[in-house]
């Protein structure tokens, strides 16, 4: 439930910033931004909402990441699992938040384990982001997509 709320909150922020999951960023103004509509209460709606938004959340978050760190740092981020295994996307996110913390040229020469460990430690110490993942979980052949989405969002 908390995870769903956090992802929904971030999804709504991305929509406000103009990312709609279609691959096109739209400009929004206060008069044209999306209005929220009340939903019927009841637990029977939750599975449908989760299923319907799952792909949208993935797509919008991936679109934002591709634009904000993929293009700017020359990284190929095609998914929310295998593309994170070298640790460079995590390092780029930390750099985007505080450029003084990360030398991306040095990161490109390090091992995936070093990058992931360093990114998680920098995020914990300087950005107050607790590591929700173990380094070995990210280094796995196919890391858990939901775990990476949760950590990144």
Range of the domain at 98: 2-19+46-152
> How confident is the model over 66-113, as pLDDT tens digits?
999 998 999 999 999 999 999 999 999 999 999 999 999 999 999 999
Q: Is residue 38 part of a domain?
A: no
- Residue 55 is predicted with a pLDDT of 66
To the nearest 10°, the Cα dihedral for 50, 52, 55, 59? -100
pLDDT for 10 equals: 65
Residue 120 lies in a domain: yes
**Is residue 116 included in any domain, yes or no?**
yes
3-state secondary structure of 25: strand
Say whether pLDDT at 1 is over 80. Answer: no
Q: What is the pLDDT of residue 49?
A: 47
User: What is the signed CA dihedral for 149, 86, 92, 135, rounded to 10 degrees?
Assistant: 60
- Nearest C-alpha neighbor of 85 from the set 137, 149, 147: 137
- Please tell me the distance from the alpha carbon of residue 105 to that of residue 61, in angstroms, as a whole number: 25
Would 24 be classed as within a structural domain?
Answer: no
Proportion of the chain above pLDDT 70, given as a percent:
64
Q: What is the CATH number of the domain that holds 74?
A: 1.10.418.10
CB 138 within 8 A of CB 84: yes
Does some domain include residue 40? no
Are 91 and 104 within 8 A, CB to CB?
yes
Q: Does residue 36 lie in a domain region?
A: no
Give a yes or no: residue 33 inside a domain: no
Q: Which of 59, 95, 101, 84 lies closest to 139, judged by CA?
A: 84
25 lies in some domain = no
* Domain count within the chain: 1
């Amino acid at each position: 439930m908390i995870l769903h709320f956090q992802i929904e909150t971030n999804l709504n922020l991305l929509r406000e910033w103009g990312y709609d999951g279609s691959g096109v960023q739209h400009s929004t103004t206060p008069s044209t931004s999306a209005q929220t509509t009340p939903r019927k209460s009841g637990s029977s709606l939750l599975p449908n909402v989760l299923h319907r938004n799952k792909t949208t959340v993935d797509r919008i978050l991936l679109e934002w990441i591709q634009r904000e760190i993929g293009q700017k740092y020359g990284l190929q981020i095609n998914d929310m699992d295998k593309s994170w295994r070298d640790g460079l996307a995590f390092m780029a996110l930390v750099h985007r938040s505080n450029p003084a913390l990360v030398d991306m040229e040095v990161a490109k020469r390090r091992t995936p384990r070093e990058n992931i460990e360093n990114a998680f430690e920098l995020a914990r110490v300087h950005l107050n982001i607790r590591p929700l993942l173990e380094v070995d979980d990210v280094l796995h052949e196919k890391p858990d997509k939901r775990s990476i989405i949760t950590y990144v969002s």
